[in-house]
Amino acid sequence: MSLTGTPFLVTAIVLAVIAVLLPLALWSRLPGPAVVRNTGRLGMVLFAQLTAVVAVFVPVNNANNLYESWDDLLGTGDHVTAAADLGPDGTGGKRVADLPKVRQSFEPADDPVVGDGVRRTTLKGRISGVEAEVYVWLPPQYDDPAYRDKKFPVVEVLNGFPGSPKAWFGSMRSNQQLEPLMRNGKVAPFILVAPRTTLLGDTDTGCANIPGKVNADSWLSVDVRKMVVDNFRVTDRADDWAVAGYSAGAHCAMKLAVAHPDRYRYAIALSGYTDPAAERASLTGKDPKLRHSENPLNMFKLAKTPPRISMLFTGDGFDGYNQGIGFQEAAEPPTRIDVHRVVGGHRMDTWREQVPSVFRWLTKRYAADAAAEGRDPLPGPVTGGGTERVPGVPGGRDGGPGAGTGRPPGHAPGHAPGAGRTDGRPGVAPAVRLTGA
């Protein structure tokens, strides 16, 4: 029985009801000596507690897409078949463009919660040694005959930990929110690609390549990208690729963009942390050397040249906002860092409400860069996002000084940007208002 299916939810509710009725019917009727009666009553109490916990857990899990399968819940899932040392670029010395094309068959996603149009495939990563599922959603323009010769931009969307790749379509409802905005030209017709990021049971990989353990970076930035390029009308240019994530997925989005500006031009980090140890189950957070080297802010500061990327950070205090300020203070052209202060906490509701605004930001940045650099314009009649209010920001849409690179006006030194996620810790930085968002 599927962990996330309706039959299991119904079964959990029925058992919870039975667990309440059972003591009412049998409490005083149990036969035998006192020790037997008391043992039976204790068993009924424990059964009632267990079924109550399960009856609450199942809808919470389904609403937040935390665990997709029993293997995910029990920590027994292993999607790594090999973990060779692939070198600094994560390709093992291979030229990806010379590899045979990856032809995949897709089927509709087997979960009605994700909405229409989401398709699923199981990909065997030729470079990374990872075998896992990838979900893809195509914008409404993709199958329109008027756009049959157009190539589309891609956003790789990454979930938190624990979490399911379906979360961006289920809990986040990204496709349902974005489709009408894409139809009326308020958001560009991005292809959304959601690969599995939980690859080693109950361990967070930190989206890193760790020889002998996992090649999560290469899975996301090489194998998944190549599969998408080989099966859909997209390019492999970094200019046409973005990566977005929330929580642990935001940590990964920062890392992938900083490490691979030749693969991703844009990154969106919702409530992201920079210190890998902020996630207790992180492989990279438990090793002092990896904790330093896999910290995206450290990677950013140690880059030989400022990467040609644009990044958006949202959050409040140490829950993503200060991390963005840390990047903004260290940034130099051509890097662009925008930071939105968004209140609401480290929760799915907060991130879901931001989906339209962050994709409008991405649309505007993409369109502005394409126009400035003489690249092909976005497919479709994209008109931009107007002045939509950023969720969680009092007073409406962010606008004003502070965007781009360098320290925002009025921002005093002495805070501790980039430390980690909130986890209940205090710390609120001043708000920043941005242009071009």
pLDDT digits (tens, 9 = 90+) for 162-217: 889 999 999 999 999 999 999 999 999 999 999 999 999 889 999 999 999 999 99
Domain ranges of the chain: 6-60, 82-373
Say if strands 241-246 and 266-270 run parallel, antiparallel, or are unpaired.
Answer: parallel
Domain 82-373: which CATH number of 2.40.10.120, 1.10.220.70, 3.40.50.2000, 3.40.50.1820: 3.40.50.1820
Q: Are 225 and 193 in contact (CB under 8 A)?
A: no
Task: Spell out the residues 6+ positions from residue 414 whose beta carbon is closer than 8 angstroms to its own.
Answer: none
For residue 395, is pLDDT > 70? no
pLDDT score, position 402: 37
Rounded to the nearest integer, the mean pLDDT of the chain is: 86
Given pLDDT bands bounded at 50, 70 and 90, which one contains residue 426? very low
Given pLDDT bands bounded at 50, 70 and 90, which one contains residue 394? very low
pLDDT score, position 78: 79
Say if strands 241-246 and 154-158 run parallel, antiparallel, or are unpaired.
Answer: parallel
> H or E segment at 23?
helix 6-26
Specify burial of residue 187 (Cβ count, 10 A radius: 0-12, 13-18, 19+): buried
Say what the pTM is.
0.80
> H or E segment at 221?
none
CA 10 from centroid of its chain's CA atoms: 29
Q: Are 123 and 134 in contact (CB under 8 A)?
A: yes
Task: Spell out the residues 6+ positions from residue 131 whose beta carbon is closer than 8 angstroms to its own.
Answer: 79, 81, 122, 123, 124, 125
Q: Are 335 and 306 in contact (CB under 8 A)?
A: yes
Average pLDDT for residues 392-414, to the nearest whole number?
38
pLDDT score, position 384: 61
DSSP state of 204: B
pLDDT score, position 65: 67
